[in-house]
Amino acid sequence: MKNPENQLAHEISPYLLQHACNPVNWHAWNTAALEQAKKENKPILLSIGYSACHWCHVMAHESFEDECTARIMNAHFINIKVDREERPDLDRIYQTAHSILTGRPGGWPLTVFLDPNDQIPFFAGTYFPKEQHYGMPSFCELLLNIHEIFQTRLDEIIQQNNSLMDILDSEHEINDSGSTLNAMPLDMARHQLLSAFDSKNGGFSRAPKFPHPAMIERALRHWCLTRTRTNNDQSISEIFFLNLQKMAMSGLFDHIGGGFFRYSTDDYWMIPHFEKMLYDNGQLLPLYVYAWQISGNELFSHTINLTASWVIREMQSPQGGYYSSQDADSEGVEGQFYVWTRNEIHQQLNADDYKIFARCFGLDQAANFEHRWHLHRYLTDAELANELSRTENEIDESLSRSCKKLFMARALRNMAGTDDKILASWNGLMIRGMCLAYRATANDQYLESACKAMNFVSHNLWCDNKLLASGKQDNAHLNYYLDDYACMLLATLEYLQCRWDNNFLDWAIRIADAILDDFEDKNHGGFYFTRHDHEKLIQRSKIFSDDSMPSGNGIASLAMQRLGLLTGNTKYLSAVERCLYAASGRMNQQAVLHCSMLNTLEEYLNPPVIIILRGDTDKTGIWQQAINQYYLPRTLCFVIPSGIILDKSLADKKPVNDACAYICEGTRCLPAVTTLEELINHIRSGNPHTETP
């Protein structure tokens, strides 16, 4: 029976709607709920999670669907449910508070109790079981204890809250006076990456093992930046190539349907937490493109194809935007959609194919997930060919044939749920990944997918010169955040390298101007996570470090620096310099946590190359294809057809002969190049990493 006091039924978020029929009197985070807490002098029970989260589902089933638990919650608290993907500002603040209060990293579900008068948290945790378990009290015991503490020890709560606010206020205060911008943090990051790297299994920690794509990319960029023909830093390049190889062969990757899961629960990348997040795949797809460009390894090409195909098939809405995630659970069981019995696989494959598949994916070993098998690849094609006396081509054809049959069989199962919320920031990451994949592979499907998503975001989430953070079909809402603007700005610059459009260049300029107007700290440099007129919260963050998402400051400054060099508008370059100085103290202290900012610093110290190709479209297209075969992290190449009229910032880039290339290195422009040979020689002369490692 529906609870009439539950206020979530009219929300858009699939996560909030999952709780709309709970007996808990849930509210969304809004003024009315906050005012009710003040009026009734009840603490706020803030529960933050997301649709694909397994332990969010567990706690919901155990506690939030339970009538007895709900009665306690409703009697003593104002209960507010938040989708962390819709409100990353709240999630960032209260995750930070959790870490301060508990001394441990947070996670989801996040359970926080707030003072009703100022929303300052006085107790925090993550998942709590219904019964005493895992060394934790039952959730009902916790609720009653928190209620008693709030009634009897308010003075202690106020004192603790004051101390917490002092810590939050000082969190970003690092004295940057006297800082200089130099390469020291780049070298420091190299040493820190090597120190943390698991050279046997890949990754940067023991279980739980996360991909950390910003760190992996930083390793590659450092190798490319410092590599010469006499100095090949194999140790730092191994971080990139070994990591990607291990993840692509592991259970972190869906070998049947494509796409990466969130993280591994073991040291070997074997058993994942089974949710698939758009933002993870949007960051990982470019890394496999780079690896393919450099090495030509078919494993990386295969990973690109499967990942991009999964996104187009299952994660792109009919209107064009990309969905947020796929659930860890189906039929109430984590991983149910993805795991197999031996018999299920044997029934689908002939004897010869089964022999190869079983040896490849460990069906000849003990079950690795609750008496069943989650597919984790143990041997490469070459190793299988040698062991089974086959050719690599025969192995590849057999495995491909088997995976197609298993894909069809798996499609008959009940699929994990999809969160069909469309987030601007995550769409920006995937649009960029699709554009990079298109340029490396020339697969038109990837560009078409990126084009559809670009059009969706620009038409549905861009309203009155503002970018809304979230949409669902034609319903866009919620204030925008720095990450939304930053990721879409970088994606637009990537898209323009696939297909020039004056309108999208104009849009990129409007996005960059909005970042300056709405987010920049005019006094100290850098960009706040929330806009200047955002709802007043207990903290306003200015974040330079990466977490599961790359730093908004890092992405915004990288994109703005590139836009400034493309258009010649120095206001963008000046803002980037101010941002780097604001972040310099943090980069100098903890370089490895600021890899996205380090990419901007690298391009500040070693300005990128802007190549503009003009002339006959067929010929310039061939020139661009020749460039796209290389990994060129600090090169942007735009093909602008002859018939397009450019504004004054690019008006001097006129066609010469059938085709020509204008090359600008930072703020220094070179004479037009009129042959492909000259262009490729110029690229190779400045990029020794264009040789295979």
For the chain, domains (ranges, CATH) are 14-170 (3.40.30.10), 184-331+419-605 (1.50.10.10), 338-412 (1.10.10), 609-690 (3.40.30)
d(CA 147, CA 79): 13
| Among 560, 571, 566, CA closest to 646 | 566
Query: Whole-angstrom Cα distance, residue 658 to residue 617?
Result: 9
Average pLDDT across each block of 10 residues of the chain; the chain has 693 residues. List them in order: 87 93 96 97 97 92 96 97 94 94 92 96 94 85 96 94 90 60 96 95 94 97 83 86 97 98 96 96 98 96 98 97 94 93 97 97 96 97 96 97 98 94 96 98 97 96 83 68 97 97 96 97 96 93 95 98 96 98 95 98 96 92 94 95 80 84 91 92 80 48
* Phi/psi at 663 (5° precision): -120, 125
CA dist 155 to 98, 144, 151, 165, 538, Å? 20, 19, 10, 15, 20
Task: Quote the tokens at residue 111.
Answer: 């359970």
Which two structure tokens, joined as six digits, stand for 322? 């990309």
Question: 374: Cβ–Cβ under 8 A, 6 or more apart, which residues?
Answer: 251, 270, 271, 272, 335, 338, 339, 340, 368
User: Letter for the amino acid at 371?
Assistant: H
- CA separation for the pair 636, 626 (Å, rounded): 14
State both tokens at 489: 């700005």
> How many helices and strands in the chain, by DSSP H and E?
25, 21
Nearest-angstrom CA–CA distance, 447 and 145: 56
CA distances from 437 to 423, 448, 472, 496, 663 (A): 21, 12, 26, 14, 24
- Per-residue model confidence (pLDDT) at position 2: 74
DSSP H helical ranges for 77-124:
88-102
Residue 650 has what pLDDT?
A: 85
Two structure tokens written together for 482: 């720095």
**pLDDT attached to residue 176:** 53
pLDDT at 693: 40
DSSP string covering 651-673, please?
A: TT----SSEEEEEEETTEE-PPB
Beta-bridge mates of residue 551:
none
Distance of CA 93 to the CA centre of its chain: 19
**What residue type is assigned to position 566 of the chain?**
L
Other Cβ atoms less than 10 A from the Cβ of 523: the count is 7
Q: Say if residues 45 and 82 touch (Cβ distance below 8 Å).
A: no
Gap between the Cα atoms of 9 and 53, Å rounded: 20
Give the bridge partners for 665, in sequence order.
Answer: 609, 668
β-strands 78-83, 44-49 pairing: parallel
Where do the H-state alpha helices sit in 31-106?
A: 31-40, 54-59, 67-76, 88-102
DSSP β-bridge partners for residue 81? 47
Q: Which helix (H) or strand (E) holds 7?
A: none
- Cβ neighbours of residue 550 closer than 8 Å, sequence gap 6 or more: 213, 214, 283, 595, 596
Sequence letter at residue 312:
I
Q: Of 332, 315, 225, which is closest to residue 274 (Cα–Cα)?
A: 332
Q: Could you tell me where the DSSP H helices lie in 550-671?
A: 552-567, 570-589, 595-605, 617-628
